[in-house]
Amino acid sequence: MNGNIPQVIHFVPWAEIGGTERVVQNLCLTGGEYRHLVLFAQSGPAVSEFERRHIRVLRPGEITDLARLAMTELQANSPIVLHAHIMKYNHVEHALILARALGVPGLFTLHGREILPPVPWPLVCVSPSVSRAQVHNFERTLVIPNGVSLAEFSPPVHRTQRSSIVLTVVARARRIPDYFWQCVDRIRSVRENCQIWIVGQDGESDRQVKYFGVRGDVSKILAMSDIFIYAPRPFHGAHDLTVLEAMASGLPCICTNVSGVAESITHMHDGILVPFGAIDPFVTAALDLMSSTELRYSLGRHARETVAANFTIEKCWFRYRSAYAGLLGISDQSPSTPA
């Protein structure tokens, strides 16, 4: 691309440390061909986490105030696109107000499963199932799956002398159904030498269960784990990034067979899928994996290969970069699709 560097304003209506925020963070760190500015509409831990990563951030404020401040941060005479990361329709309305104030084109990425009424911009869906549901925006919808950095997530450190197997879940409390804890209790009662690590929420740790709270170093925890366990609810997630991160870490994953997960995992090839709400299959899968080093390594190796082939942040950025260029009417002369 010639001339001034194109710029992306990422509008994020919330500021937790979750999958959406990590996707935005990954795009900012990967997409060096563009200058990135992140506008958070609310306060939250993600603001300081982005700043720690040296990503330009405007702290939360009213939409019109954010627009005014953004103009002072942006490079004059450079093409600008607004990328709104949304979960529901009222986020669309906020993004349109911001775009009008800035006088720039935009696109949406839908990180949830809400079926939106007609929207005026291209609508990116992070999974095919979400795209198929957008019946009011069929002609302006495109699918760009979430991506993770293989460089950040490395295979686990398998220490043959370790006496216990670590099963890890990464999720906020509201994402974990009650029956999951029944599964945990069954697993720990049968295998007393296992450890259950809970990342993303606080709790009272004991000899077998350890709570880590919200962490910014999830990759390090996954690298010390042996198995990833997760039970997302049906119709709650769009394309679960925590699952992709666990797969990129070379971990075998036991997850519920819901669309936000099943579009990443192939049963018994790179993970294990069990019916939502079914305690016995979940517990059996965990015990089988704990009993078989060969099965853990095989599923984990294939999991990382699946991410490398389909869900890297480089592939994700390439598709967004092409969408930005189309909106701005500029030539996308960056390197071709990553391998």
- Residue 154: inside a domain: no
Please check whether residues 87 and 38 belong to one and the same domain.
yes
State how many domains the chain has.
2
What are the distances in angstroms from CA 247 to CA 21, 78, 155, 244, 275? 19, 38, 9, 5, 20
Please check whether residues 193 and 210 belong to one and the same domain.
yes
Please check whether residues 179 and 231 belong to one and the same domain.
yes
Domain with 25 in it: 7-147+312-328
Angle, in degrees to the nearest 10, between helices 89-102 and 63-73 = 50
pLDDT at 63: 66
pLDDT at 335: 57
pLDDT at 4: 82
- Residue 281: inside a domain: yes
DSSP readout, 226-288? Answer: SEEEE-PPTTT-SS-HHHHHHHHTT--EEEE--HHHHTT--BTTTBEEE-TT-HHHHHHHHHH
Indicate which CATH number applies to the domain containing 133.
Answer: 3.40.50.2000
Please check whether residues 137 and 263 belong to one and the same domain.
no
Please check whether residues 298 and 322 belong to one and the same domain.
no
- Residue 319: inside a domain: yes
Look at residues 279, 258, 239, 6 and name the one whose alpha carbon lies nearest to residue 126.
239
- Residue 339: inside a domain: no
Please check whether residues 199 and 175 belong to one and the same domain.
yes
Please check whether residues 110 and 193 belong to one and the same domain.
no
What are the distances in angstroms from CA 283 to CA 110, 183, 244, 290, 320? 33, 6, 22, 11, 39
Mean pLDDT by 10 residues, the chain (339 residues): 79 89 95 93 90 88 68 75 95 92 94 96 96 96 96 74 86 90 95 93 93 90 95 89 96 95 96 97 97 95 97 97 95 63
Please check whether residues 260 and 228 belong to one and the same domain.
yes
- Which helix (H) or strand (E) is 110 found in, with range? strand 106-110
Please check whether residues 260 and 195 belong to one and the same domain.
yes
Please check whether residues 298 and 321 belong to one and the same domain.
no
Q: How far apart are CA 236 and CA 19, in angstroms?
A: 13
pLDDT at 58: 85
